[in-house]
Structure 1
Amino acid sequence: MVFDGIIASFIVGFLRKGNLRGLAKLHLKWGWIFPLLLLFQMIVFTLQNKVSFLGTTSGYIYIGVYIIGMLFLFLNRDNPGFIIILIGVFLNFIVMAVNGGRMPVSLEAASILEPGYLDILKHELYAKHALLTEATKLGFLGDIIPLSDPYPRTQIISIGDVIMNIGAFVFIQHLMLHHRNVDKLDAHLQLEGGETK
């Protein structure tokens, strides 16, 4: 859902007459680490059912990825919305850390998904997810929120995902609108300066 939230945030930014000029001025500490973590996770997702070593260690790998991601967010906490994103990531991290590195998925919530998804979840590793059971710790922080019609994409999300999307929205709105407002202020000051000459 995070990617859905990012896309929606950009759409709202454009509707508010924002622009992407802020991207050119965006400087993030360890900015290279985020795409690298995404790529690394995709590789683990793809191979964990084929390579036994990855299958047995993938939970620990995901925990490590989350720790590095939280460090990245903390180092860049001065950016609007990053603290909110960090809180959301931390909530997801906590529930995964106490459940072997896997995000618990509610069977009831997952009933809105394709039946094949539940079969995979029951019998093999699927991404970084695992079924939520009576033995699950902090299950309320897992993927327990179903999204379906009228939402355009059927999926299940966690409380942490919701908070992360709020933070991403705040950041993207700032990114798209702040420089526009600064440009308006500069133009106004230049105009006033010209009138006083």
Structure 2
Amino acid sequence: MVYDGIIIALLVGLFRGGNFKGLADMKIKQAWVFPVLLMIQIVIYILQNKIPILGFYSNTIFILVYLVGMYFLWLNRHHPGFVVIFIGVFLNFLVMALNGGRMPVSIEASAVLDPYFVEALKNGLYGKHAAITESTRLAFLGDIIPLSAPYPREQIISIGDVIMNIGVFFFIQYLMIGKIEKNSTPQVTTTN
């Protein structure tokens, strides 16, 4: 869902007269952390059912990825939108931590997905996700919001995902437009 938010923010930024120059100029502390965390999650997702020991520790690794990600966001909290992103990530982390390192997913909401994914979810073989059950804690923070047509991609998102994307939107708008407006503000000079 984060990628969708980035694309939407970029399109809105262009529509509002912004440009990509601000994206090139962004200064984020420890910027290498985000791609590394993303790659770790992709590797675990691909290999967790093929390498038993990795599957055994995958929940713990997902929690560690979230902790490092929140630290990265906290380091960069001075950027517009990063505190909002942090709140969204924290809500996702909280529900996952309380549910054994897996994001709870509503089976009813997952009806918008391919039946293969619903079966994998029910069988506990779907990445860092698990079906919501009677014992799920804070289920309302799980993936319970279905997105389908006219939305271009069928998926299920959480309240944390929505909040995170709002923060991403603010940050990208600042980079594409806010910096332009800040730099183009006329300077008033006085003469004696």
Do they superpose with TM above 0.5? yes
**Alignment partner, residue 167 of structure 1:** 167
Number of corresponding residues: 192
How high is the TM-score relative to the length of structure 1? 0.93
Percent same amino acid among aligned pairs? 57
C-alpha offsets along residues 35-91 of structure 1, whole Å, 9 cap, x if unaligned?
010011100100000000111110000000000000000000000000000000000
Residue 12 (structure 1) shift: 0.1
Q: Helix, strand or coil: the match of 1:130?
A: strand
Residue of structure 1 in register with 2:44 after alignment: 44
CA distance in 2, matches of 1:157, 1:107: 13
1:18 alignment partner AA: G
Residue by residue over 1:20-39, the C-alpha shift from the partner in whole angstroms, topping out at 9 and shown as x without a partner, is: 11123211111110001001
AA at the equivalent of 1:166: I
* Alpha-carbon contact 1:121-1:130 (below 8 Å) kept: yes
Match of 1:146 in 2: 146
Q: Describe the SS at the equivalent of 2:104.
A: strand
Distance 1:170 1:23 in 2: 13
Tell me the SS of whatever aligns to 2:153. Answer: coil
Distance 2:127 2:15 in 1: 35
Gaps of 5+ in 2: none
Larger radius of gyration: 1
Give the 5 Å matches for 1:5-24.
Answer: 5-24=5-24
State how far apart, in whole Å, the 1-side matches of 2:127 and 2:82 are: 25
Structure-2 residue corresponding to 1:113: 113
Structure 1 spans left out of the alignment, 5+ residues? none
Higher helix content, 1 or 2: 1
Tell me the secondary structure at the aligned position of residue 178 of structure 1. helix
Runs of 4+ in 1 over 6 A off after TM superposition: none
Is the 8 Å Cα contact of residues 147 and 155 (structure 2) preserved in structure 1?
yes
Kindly indicate whether the alpha-carbon contact (under 8 Å) linking 2:91 and 2:141 is maintained by their aligned counterparts in 1: yes
Q: Look up the match of 1:32.
A: 32
Matched AA of 1:123: N
Partner of 2:132: 132
Q: Is the 8 A contact 1:21 1:176 kept in 2?
A: yes
Equivalent position amino acid for 2:7 in 1: I
Q: CA deviation at 1:124?
A: 4.2
CA distance in 2, matches of 1:171, 1:183: 17
Normalising by structure 2, report the TM-score: 0.95
